[in-house]
Chains A and B, each alone.
Chain A
Amino acid sequence: MTWKRKDLLSMQDLEAGEIRDVLDTAESMKEIATREIKKVPTLRGKTVVNLFYEASTRTRTSFEIAGKWLSADVINFSASGSSAEKGESLLDTAKNIEAMSPDVVVVRHKASGAPAMLARNLRCAVVNAGDGAHEHPTQALLDLLTIREKKGHLEGLNVTIVGDVTHSRVARSDIHGMKKMGITVTVAGPPTLIPAACQELGVKVSHRLEEAIAHADVIMMLRLQHERMTAGFIPSLREYSRVWGLSLDRLKHCRSDVLIMHPGPVNRGVELSPEVADGPYSVILDQVTNGVAVRMAVLYLLAGSKGA
């Protein structure tokens, strides 16, 4: 075991060995979900605070279930209806929460770097649950776990990420994580939604969907935020869907064992047609299941090793 970190802030920080440790631990955690009584006493007496400044159902619930199955006390703090609305700064809020002795603070914030700032200022462990357009490391870890589980390995696979890469923290974390695990990553999307400096991350760039997905072992479809249309990044949702949406018809040209992934929530009929989202290639719900296991692993590695 090589895990020595106080915090989990980004996939960019992690080394391949650390990623493997989290995935192996998560794989072992999956057995707990199959039990009649889904609880182990591991984090008894530990407190996990979910500090969410942005809307989230899946991620927050996932952390909450993960903490509870490990017997930690999980407290949810959401920005609406809290002192944040009264003008309290993030750091002040966090310091106040720290004064109540949590062991782990899970942060989602619209500002890139907010979790890193908290990590520098708090004694407890900090987990980045999504910061701006920066990173969302636990999503990348659950994506890697899902791919490894379905394909049996990671090294040498081809993964194509399709959609709004510019604004996607999921894409950024996935790219960093996948590159470290020996995966070849291709990003595809309209030029307005693919960062110019993308190649510097060591990924291939494609502006034609058919070409980008033809040899992919995994296709990761990103969510298209509706506000991208009003901001002028794409002409219209319908046009985007026609050019960049994944339909059954397009899938015919893919590998017969291709996996379709999506970080959720899915815009049905925009980036994914319903037949594809619910089809046999889709592992979208496996991703959600694996999300709990990955977060259990992360909480175990971060909360467990702190002095009792």
Chain B
Amino acid sequence: MSVSYREKAQVLDESALDRALTRIAHEIVEQAGGVEDITLVGIKTRGVTLGQRIAAKIASIEGKKPSVGALDITLYRDDLGLKAEQPVVRGTEIPFPIKGRTVVLVDDVLFTGRTIRAALDALMDLGRPRVIRLAVLVDRGHRELPIRPDYIGKNLPTSRRETVAVLLREHDGMDRVVIQEPSEEGEPQPKGEASEHGKSPRAERGEG
């Protein structure tokens, strides 16, 4: 049943990843015309880490750090009940009002768009932001919903059978982004995109 993946290519190394986040931070500040209204909300787990890094960069640019929240989209998934096992609920921590704010959603990989759909619903339940924008480290294509990112670290054409693993120092001991492909022998067809990522050894989530 379980598919093993092997690394196909490295897409971003440590310094390229850092530069991508720096650029995203500048773009966010430029578009918002400052830092006052900005709130970052990372999608668990790696989106939160990326959100914190972007916030630190904004702080070094503008001298003021935007607040960073953590959003768990599990309770808003559209594939609950389709899996044998329930996904782990990790909890949302957004201890500040988002009403009237410019919320920048941050995730590691944008794929089908279903995670972002769930995240938008989850955010709306917490309040009415003035505007929601989307920042992703990697856009790998294959959208299934009309969702488009505002800030992109790297556009990365992939095939559906591949996965993109974002490795971050805080979780994986190093900073890099790699494309993985299923190992040759006995390789089954990837099923839905929702489970595709889950099978990857590194990317524990990030199908959206």
The reply to whether B93 and A305 contact each other, CB–CB distance below 8 Å, is no
Which residues of A have CB within 8 Å of B93? 31
The reply to whether B121 and A41 contact each other, CB–CB distance below 8 Å, is yes
With A35-B126, A305-B81 given, is the CB distance from A40 to B87 under 8 Å?
Answer: no
The reply to whether A35 and B76 contact each other, CB–CB distance below 8 Å, is no
Q: Indicate if A196 sits at the interface (CB-CB under 8 A).
A: no
The distance in angstroms between the C-alpha atoms of A70 and B81, with both chains bound, is: 14
Q: Indicate if A28 sits at the interface (CB-CB under 8 A).
A: yes
Q: Indicate if A3 sits at the interface (CB-CB under 8 A).
A: yes
The distance in angstroms between the C-alpha atoms of A35 and B127, with both chains bound, is: 9
Which residues of B have CB within 8 Å of A40? 75-76, 122, 125
Q: Indicate if A301 sits at the interface (CB-CB under 8 A).
A: yes
Measured CB to CB, the nearest residue on chain A to B118 is A41
The distance in angstroms between the C-alpha atoms of A138 and B93, with both chains bound, is: 25
Q: Indicate if A86 sits at the interface (CB-CB under 8 A).
A: no
Q: Indicate if A197 sits at the interface (CB-CB under 8 A).
A: no
The distance in angstroms between the C-alpha atoms of A39 and B121, with both chains bound, is: 12
With A35-B125, A39-B125, A42-B76 given, is the CB distance from A300 to B89 under 8 Å?
Answer: yes
The distance in angstroms between the C-alpha atoms of A35 and B94, with both chains bound, is: 10
The reply to whether A31 and B86 contact each other, CB–CB distance below 8 Å, is no
The reply to whether B81 and A308 contact each other, CB–CB distance below 8 Å, is yes
Which residues of A have CB within 8 Å of B127? 36
Please report which residues of chain A, range 31-54, place their CB below 8 angstroms from some CB of chain B when the two chains form the complex: 31-32, 35-37, 39-42
The reply to whether A29 and B89 contact each other, CB–CB distance below 8 Å, is yes
The reply to whether A305 and B83 contact each other, CB–CB distance below 8 Å, is yes
Which residues of B have CB within 8 Å of A297? 89
The reply to whether B89 and A28 contact each other, CB–CB distance below 8 Å, is yes
Which residues of A have CB within 8 Å of B85? 1, 3-4, 305
The distance in angstroms between the C-alpha atoms of A21 and B93, with both chains bound, is: 19
The reply to whether B80 and A37 contact each other, CB–CB distance below 8 Å, is no
Measured CB to CB, the nearest residue on chain A to B122 is A40
With A35-B125, A39-B125, A307-B81 given, is the CB distance from A28 to B72 under 8 Å?
Answer: yes
Which residues of A have CB within 8 Å of B125? 35, 37, 39-40
Please report which residues of chain B, range 115-168, place their CB below 8 angstroms from some CB of chain A when the two chains form the complex: 121-122, 125-127
The distance in angstroms between the C-alpha atoms of A22 and B85, with both chains bound, is: 14
Most-contacted residue by chain B among A29, A31, A36, A306 (CB, 10 A):
A31
Say how far B111's CB is from chain A's closest CB, in angstroms.
22
The distance in angstroms between the C-alpha atoms of A307 and B88, with both chains bound, is: 17
The reply to whether A28 and B91 contact each other, CB–CB distance below 8 Å, is yes
Say how far A1's CB is from chain B's closest CB, in angstroms.
5
* Cβ contact of B86, chosen from A3, A24, A36, A308, cutoff 8 A: A3
Q: Indicate if B1 sits at the interface (CB-CB under 8 A).
A: no
The reply to whether A1 and B87 contact each other, CB–CB distance below 8 Å, is yes
Q: Indicate if A12 sits at the interface (CB-CB under 8 A).
A: no
With A40-B76, A41-B121 given, is the CB distance from A28 to B86 under 8 Å?
Answer: no
With A27-B91, A28-B90, A39-B125 given, is the CB distance from A305 to B84 under 8 Å?
Answer: yes
Q: Indicate if A25 sits at the interface (CB-CB under 8 A).
A: yes
The reply to whether B76 and A1 contact each other, CB–CB distance below 8 Å, is no
The distance in angstroms between the C-alpha atoms of A25 and B75, with both chains bound, is: 11
Q: Indicate if A304 sits at the interface (CB-CB under 8 A).
A: yes
With A304-B81, A308-B82 given, is the CB distance from A41 to B89 under 8 Å?
Answer: no
The distance in angstroms between the C-alpha atoms of A300 and B127, with both chains bound, is: 24
The distance in angstroms between the C-alpha atoms of A29 and B122, with both chains bound, is: 14
Q: Indicate if B92 sits at the interface (CB-CB under 8 A).
A: yes
The distance in angstroms between the C-alpha atoms of A3 and B80, with both chains bound, is: 15
Most-contacted residue by chain A among B80, B82, B84 (CB, 10 A):
B80
Task: Give per-residue flags for A97-119: 1 if the beta carbon is below 8 A from chain B beta carbons, else 0.
Answer: 00000000000000000000000
Say how far A200's CB is from chain B's closest CB, in angstroms.
35
Which residues of B have CB within 8 Å of A35? 125-126
- The 14 listed contacts between A and B (C-beta, < 8 Å) are A1-B86, A1-B87, A28-B72, A28-B91, A28-B92, A35-B126, A37-B125, A40-B122, A41-B121, A42-B76, A297-B89, A300-B86, A304-B80, A308-B82
- A residues touching B (Cβ–Cβ < 8 Å)? 1, 3-4, 21, 24-25, 27-29, 31-32, 35-37, 39-42, 70, 297, 300-301, 304-308
- B residues touching A (Cβ–Cβ < 8 Å)? 72, 75-76, 80-93, 121-122, 125-127
Which 10 residue pairs of A and B lie closest in terms of their CB atoms, listed nearest first? A28-B91, A308-B81, A40-B75, A42-B75, A28-B89, A305-B86, A304-B86, A25-B89, A304-B80, A1-B88
Known: A29-B89, A39-B125, A305-B86. 11 other contacts (CB 8 A): A1-B85, A27-B91, A36-B127, A37-B125, A40-B76, A41-B121, A301-B86, A305-B84, A305-B85, A307-B82, A308-B82
